[in-house]
Amino acid sequence: MMAQSDSGKPDEGARESKVDTGRRWVNLVLGTGIVATIASFIYPAVRYVIPPPVSESSNLSVVAAKVGELKNNAAKVFRFGSEPAILIRTADGNYRAFTAVCTHLGCTVQYRADLHEVWCPCHNGMYDLQGRNVSGPPPRPLAQYQVHIQGEDIVVVRNA
């Protein structure tokens, strides 16, 4: 657009071929100034739109349930930091905890008591009780967390 400004004056069409270096210099300075100004608004705006990281400590421990809350062969989804996690009590009474975020597309998984497996309803993904992806589209196993029983509380812990 800046290169066009010479033709802005219709009565000086004859002079157009002979470019005035003075005017060219002014156009360069103005153009650079305008570009710099626009960049100086866009840069803060772009940085502003990127959200700051939510500080979440890498060590996390959450009371997922109370002792006796879960029957054998049952499970519960609970809030673990900013994500859901699942606490499973197996048929023989052991506790297991995994992230409840399916490794395929991020749906929240659930426990299938009839199959003794973890199931993602979105695309029929299956994980076994070790969190391994056994069938369907999930590409990776579910991350496993440690389960501790402290008095009445069942505490789920993730270490860094």
Query: By CB under 8 A, which span of 39-47, 101-109, 135-143, 146-154 interacts with another protein?
Result: 39-47
Q: Whose Cβ is closer to another protein: residue 11's or residue 92's? A: 11
Binding-site size, another protein (CB under 8 A): 12
Q: Which of 112, 77, 81 is nearest to 98 (CA)?
A: 77
Site string for another protein, 42-81 (x = CB under 8 A): --xx-xxxxxx-----------------------------
Q: How far is the CB of 79 from another protein (least distance, A)?
A: 18
Residue located via tokens 């100086």: 40
- In whole angstroms, give the CA distance from residue 84 to residue 99: 7
10 lies in the binding site for another protein (CB under 8 A):
no
CA distances (Å), origin 95, targets 19, 53, 63, 65, 151: 82, 32, 13, 11, 15
Q: How far is the CB of 52 from another protein (least distance, A)?
A: 5
Among the listed residues 32, 37, 124, 150, the single contact to another protein using CB under 8 A: 37
Residues with Cβ within 8 Å of 147's Cβ and at least 6 positions away in sequence, in order, are 64, 87, 95, 96, 97, 154, 155, 156, 157
Q: Which of 55, 100, 54, 95 is nearest to 78 (CA)?
A: 100
Residues with Cβ within 8 Å of 116's Cβ and at least 6 positions away in sequence, in order, are 73, 90, 91, 129
Tokens of 160: 């860094």
Q: Whose Cβ is closer to another protein: residue 41's or residue 159's? A: 41
Q: How far is the CB of 34 from another protein (least distance, A)?
A: 9
Q: Whose Cβ is closer to another protein: residue 50's or residue 160's? A: 50
Residues that bind another protein (CB under 8 A): 3-4, 7, 37, 44-45, 47-52
